[in-house]
């Protein structure tokens, strides 16, 4: 009986550890997980209304008047959810545009950048956070970094006057989760694209961690997605640099 109980406990622990190492959104449609390569544009499928969201972003961009954009996956998209109040406080007066889509990898973001998401705008700044879903797909740190760099280069190509604030991929999972280490390595490699003029790199991962390296549920409710407090940490961490880029220093 004791042995059986121990096996059950171990299975539960393994399941919990694995859950935080899964993609930033679960998708039952296998076409969402078409492998592709991180630095080659690939459209996502229409699960969860992704294409409708793409179209809405294109329509918003076509209207112009966006001074700031956020580019990324579900962590960025959820500025409209868990981070909504923080967004209103920090970005509503800046005509900010949220270009995050659940489950996106670097290749999906590349496709969107090539197909209307940033047409018709010339923002002062672009905050880029992408890559954690590539890690979930098993991409190497080097390939993830190549995808991140490709995203930055595409933004530079299409928006030459826009400065990029590239975020290090946020930590995720429990201590010892291999994906966390791979994401950190990808960020270090990708950071080499930063020139301090048009591309700036910030790794704020430590600010999400407890002293022992764990992630509090008050910061990431599932060891991946941010709580309102987590979005507050993100906004406060980048605000000085963002204000500098946008010429809004106090």
Q: Give the catalytic positions in this structure.
A: 74, 222, 225
Please, which residues have CB within 8 angstroms of residue 13's CB and are 6 or more apart in sequence?
none
Helical (H) or strand (E) element with 55? helix 50-62
Which tokens belong to 29?
């449609």
User: DSSP readout, 180-236?
Assistant: HHHHHHHHHHHGGG--SSSEEEE--GGGGB-TTS-B-TTTBTTSSSBPHHHHHHHHH
- In this structure, are residues 202 and 237 in contact, taking their beta carbons and an 8 Å threshold? yes
| Spatial distance between the Cα atoms of 149 and 155, rounded to a whole number of angstroms | 10
Distances (CA, A) of 203 to 76, 105, 184: 16, 19, 9
| Spatial distance between the Cα atoms of 11 and 14, rounded to a whole number of angstroms | 5
């Amino acid at each position: 009986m004791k042995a059986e109980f121990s096996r059950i406990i171990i299975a539960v622990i393994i399941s919990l550890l694995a859950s935080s190492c899964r993609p930033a959104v679960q998708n039952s449609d296998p076409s969402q997980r078409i492998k592709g390569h991180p630095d080659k544009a690939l459209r996502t499928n229409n699960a969860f209304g992704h294409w409708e969201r793409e179209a809405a972003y294109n329509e918003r961009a076509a209207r112009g008047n966006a001074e700031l954009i956020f580019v990324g996956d579900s962590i960025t998209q959820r500025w409209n959810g868990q981070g909504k109040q923080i967004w209103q406080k920090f970005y509503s007066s800046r005509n900010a545009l949220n270009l995050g889509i659940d489950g996106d990898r670097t290749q999906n973001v590349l496709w969107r950048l090539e197909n209307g998401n940033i047409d018709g705008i010339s923002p002062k700044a672009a905050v880029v956070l992408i890559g954690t879903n590539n890690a979930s797909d098993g991409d190497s740190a080097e390939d993830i970094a190549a995808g991140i760099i490709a995203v930055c280069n595409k933004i530079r190509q299409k928006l030459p006057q826009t400065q990029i604030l590239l975020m290090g991929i946020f930590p995720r999972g429990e201590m010892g989760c291999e994906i966390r280490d791979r994401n950190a390595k990808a960020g270090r490699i990708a950071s080499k694209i930063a020139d301090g003029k048009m591309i700036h790199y910030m790794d704020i991962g430590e600010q999400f961690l407890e002293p022992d390296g764990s992630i509090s549920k008050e910061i990431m409710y599932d060891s991946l997605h941010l709580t309102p407090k987590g979005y507050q940490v993100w906004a406060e961490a980048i605000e000085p640099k963002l204000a500098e880029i946008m010429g809004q220093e106090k």
